[in-house]
Amino acid sequence: MLTSQIHAMLELQDKMNTKVHQNWRQQGYEWYRAIWVECAELLDHYGWKWWKKQECDRPQVILELIDIWHFGLSDLLAGNEDLDSLVAEIAEQMVAEPDLVEFRLEVEQFALATLSQRKFDLVGYKRVMLAADLSFDVLYRQYIGKNVLNFFRQDHGYKAGTYRKQWQGREDNEHLVEVLEQIDPNDADFQTQIYTALERRYSEVTF
pLDDT in tens, 135-187: 999 999 999 999 999 999 999 998 888 998 988 888 898 899 889 988 988 88
Which of 132, 151, 166 terminates a domain? The answer is 132
> Per DSSP, what are the bridge partners of residue 170?
167
Assess whether 31 and 102 both reside in one domain: yes
Assess whether 121 and 161 both reside in one domain: no
Q: What is the pLDDT of residue 91?
A: 96
For helices 136-155 and 58-79, angle between their N-to-C axes, nearest 10 degrees: 80
CATH number at residue 22: 1.10.4010.10
The yes-or-no verdict on residue 207 having pLDDT over 60 is no
How many domains are contained in the chain? Answer: 2
Residue 18, domain extent: 1-132
The yes-or-no verdict on residue 206 having pLDDT over 80 is no
Closest CA to 73 of 31, 117, 130, 133: 31
Render pLDDT for 18-44 as a digit per residue (tens, 0 to 9).
988 999 999 999 999 999 999 999 999
Q: Is 171 helix (H, G, I), strand (E, B) or coil?
A: strand
For helices 83-94 and 122-131, angle between their N-to-C axes, nearest 10 degrees: 40
163 DSSP 8-state letter: -
Q: Give the C-alpha distances (Å, rounded to integers) separating 43 from 32, 54, 55, 81.
A: 17, 11, 11, 32
End-to-end Cα distance, the chain: 41
Q: What is the pLDDT of residue 77?
A: 97
- The rounded distance, in Å, linking the Cα atoms of 70 and 149 is 12
- Type of residue numbered 95: V
Assess whether 160 and 108 both reside in one domain: no
